Structure 1
């Protein structure tokens, strides 16, 4: 048989079908698993966990050293206890790392938000400082209350002096030519 006579499926240059069954891809809710990891890490870092773990190991050691040989289930060097603690460490280390990574992500978001707020506060402070400087400059140009009072007093004195000089019965306002130009 020549190459063209072989069916397409039987050629060695064509990959064959996969044998077996396909494993379904597990879908794990990252948020739920992360909360679970944080719960475990929080509990493992608590005094209650340390007390319970210490009591468990102490009871285990006492049971397997002090009781009669028939009741002992893990003779010295305590292989079963070592295996259990190794399994606990193997599972707890990744869970603690996952919890730390989640906390680091929250800290990073918090830090970024704090930095944004600080930048906004700094910009607001700079703006207010410029506004206060402008107000101070403008206030320097405004007439103060004392200055206005002194000007009014001077005007009042001038008017009283004109009234004193004017003949009786004639008001200086009636004769605009006699008033001083301002």
Structure 2
């Protein structure tokens, strides 16, 4: 009996068109409104740009100038145009909001950097392993060449052998000439 025949009609409807791949989640129900999607890499790149800017002296200067202007305006401006009185609650709220968005953006940028560092570490480890294997191969080759060179006759050895042969020939000539 086929497997689909044992399922109820509801189950067959749910599993109709379901993928058999394990790395793709099943879509259990139909949606009439499409789910919002976003490009995670584009959002990550934007968060890295923001995090880089938040870590600069330029940001600190802009933030300090803004806060000083805010405080000075709300202290020295005419009462009718002040928008945040002395405890500066609106300023505190704005700074808290900025910090609540900055922290996750900085963490996201750090996570992306950590992922890049991990990939670079893997590449460096692979290059190191290949380099180590190449060095071991070259060391074995050098050792075999040294052993081979050790068995090869050198120029000095050949000269000494030729001299001894010449000496033997001279000795043989002398003996032949005497006899």
| Alpha-carbon distance, 1:71 to partner | 2.0
Moved more, 117-126 or 93-102: 117-126
Aligned residue number for residue 84 of structure 2: 74
| Alpha-carbon distance, 1:155 to partner | 2.3
1:22–1:96 CA distance, 2 compared to 1 (3 A): farther
| Alpha-carbon distance, 1:164 to partner | 5.8
State how far apart, in whole Å, the 2-side matches of 1:127 and 1:59 are.
Answer: 69
- The yes-or-no answer on 1:29 pairing with 2:63 is no
Aligned residue number for residue 38 of structure 1: 48
Cα RMSD after superposing both structures = 2.0
Structure with the greater alpha carbon radius of gyration: 1
Aligned residue number for residue 103 of structure 1: 113
- Provide, for residues 80-100 of structure 1, a one-character-per-residue CA deviation record: whole Å limited to 9, x for no partner: 111211221121111111111
- Provide, for residues 15-56 of structure 1, a one-character-per-residue CA deviation record: whole Å limited to 9, x for no partner: xxxxxx954312211111111110000000000000000000
State how far apart, in whole Å, the 2-side matches of 1:80 and 1:23 are.
Answer: 38
- TM-score under structure 1 length normalisation: 0.73
Aligned residue number for residue 163 of structure 2: 153
- TM-score under structure 2 length normalisation: 0.74
Long gaps (5+) in structure 1 = 1-20, 168-182
Task: Count matched residues.
Answer: 147
